[in-house]
Amino acid sequence: MTQTIGIIGTGALGTLMAWHWRQTDLYAARRSSDNPPFVILTGDDLHEFQAMPWQGEPLDWLVVCTKASDALKALQQRQAWLGRVDHLLLLQNGMGQQQQVADWLARQPLAPTLWAAVSTEGAYRTETGQVVYAGKGHTHAGRWSESDIETTVALPPGVLPAADIRERMLAKLAINAIINPLTGYYRCHNGELLTEPDRRRHFERLSEEVADFYRLQGWCSQLDIRQQALSVAEATARNKSSTLQDILAGRPNELPYICGYLLAEAARNRHDLPVTQDLYQQLTSGA
């Protein structure tokens, strides 16, 4: 049976996921009332496809691909329809918003089950507004409530189950907490953090700080954070981080849910993250 999937947030990632799910009964919750088609460039091929406008129809999955800061508001705006949604999946950078949504859903009648996802898929929007599929990866999802595990739910096509979803999210958060603020600060592509001496030294200091804090917290004990951040920066050398794209476009960025999340956890444990704190203050002081 074909799944019924709705998407909130039709930026680069939302467009990419819609592309993967175009063979399902696909709905999109969009600001534009004229429901324009999705357009994505994969390799040398430009594809155009359509989704139905979501107006409260029953859904197997409602997938939220907005910025982290917009997740709760987007759901509150559609509160009356959530009773017709079986499962809610948050697919975003950062951490903190998942628990905000979980706390809010706990107060709602007939709330959908809450899932969280992390993806290594790559997509970006060009200056002309075109979404480019920049790199194939994997998307994993798991129940947010660790005490309420389901093993029989059919996930959206191509999404892999993960019992350790928080660990996977923390692993991605560590890399984002290094690459995103630094590329935003230096206004540079990912690979340029490694090729200029001052930037490379800054990269090393921040990597050490994040890795030390993760060890203190007992997070991702098998992950070599410095080496993984180095590998990601090299593999995505020509990419602009989402934070840099937001800064250049004058949009709010997700650093409050990346650096801000780590700083809040550090404060709770009376631990200082001076390199992270300095970058965060400089990049959010004008926000």
CA nearest to 200, candidates 245, 242, 234: 234
pLDDT given at position 285:
78
Q: Say if residue 162's pLDDT is above 70.
A: yes
- 202 with 264, same domain: the answer is yes
Q: Say if residue 148's pLDDT is above 70.
A: no
For the residues 7-31, what does the mean pLDDT come to?
93
Annotated catalytic residue within 67, 73, 172, 240: 172
- 59 with 152, same domain: the answer is yes
Q: Say if residue 119's pLDDT is above 70.
A: yes
pLDDT given at position 205:
98
Active site residue 172: yes
> In CATH, what number is assigned to the domain containing residue 269?
1.10.1040.10
- 188 with 269, same domain: the answer is yes
Rounded to 5°, angle at Cα 65 from 63 and 70: 115
On whether the CB atoms of residues 27 and 57 are closer than 8 A, the answer is yes
For the residues 140-150, what does the mean pLDDT come to?
77
pLDDT > 70: percent of the chain: 97
> What integer best gives the mean pLDDT of the chain?
93
For the residues 175-187, what does the mean pLDDT come to?
98
- 145 with 57, same domain: the answer is yes
pLDDT given at position 128:
82
For the residues 100-114, what does the mean pLDDT come to?
95
Q: Which of 121, 140, 162 is the last residue of a domain?
A: 162
| Least confident segment among 70-74, 116-120, 143-147 | 143-147
- 251 with 217, same domain: the answer is yes
How many other β-carbons are positioned within 10 Å of the β-carbon of residue 21? 21
Amino acid at 258: I
- Predicted confidence (pLDDT) per residue in 274-284, tens digit: 999 999 999 99
pLDDT given at position 30:
82
The count of domains in the chain is 2
* Structural domain range at position 107: 4-162
Q: Say if residue 150's pLDDT is above 70.
A: no
- 64 with 11, same domain: the answer is yes
pLDDT > 90: percent of the chain: 80
Q: Which of 115, 133, 162 is the last residue of a domain?
A: 162
- 77 with 201, same domain: the answer is no
Rounded to 5°, angle at Cα 86 from 47 and 161: 70
- 188 with 151, same domain: the answer is no
Distance CA 51, CA 82 (A): 19
For the residues 171-198, what does the mean pLDDT come to?
97
Distance CA 212, CA 154 (A): 38
- 214 with 263, same domain: the answer is yes
Q: Say if residue 286's pLDDT is above 70.
A: no
CA nearest to 182, candidates 166, 168, 172, 196: 196
- 77 with 12, same domain: the answer is yes
For the residues 154-170, what does the mean pLDDT come to?
95
pLDDT given at position 151:
58
Q: Say if residue 140's pLDDT is above 70.
A: yes
Question: φ, ψ for residue 140 (rounded to 5)?
Answer: -115, 145
Q: Which of 107, 138, 162 is the last residue of a domain?
A: 162
Reported residue count of the chain is: 287
- 67 with 155, same domain: the answer is yes
For the residues 165-188, what does the mean pLDDT come to?
97
> In CATH, what number is assigned to the domain containing residue 122?
3.40.50.720
For the residues 178-199, what does the mean pLDDT come to?
97
For the residues 87-116, what does the mean pLDDT come to?
96
- 157 with 197, same domain: the answer is no
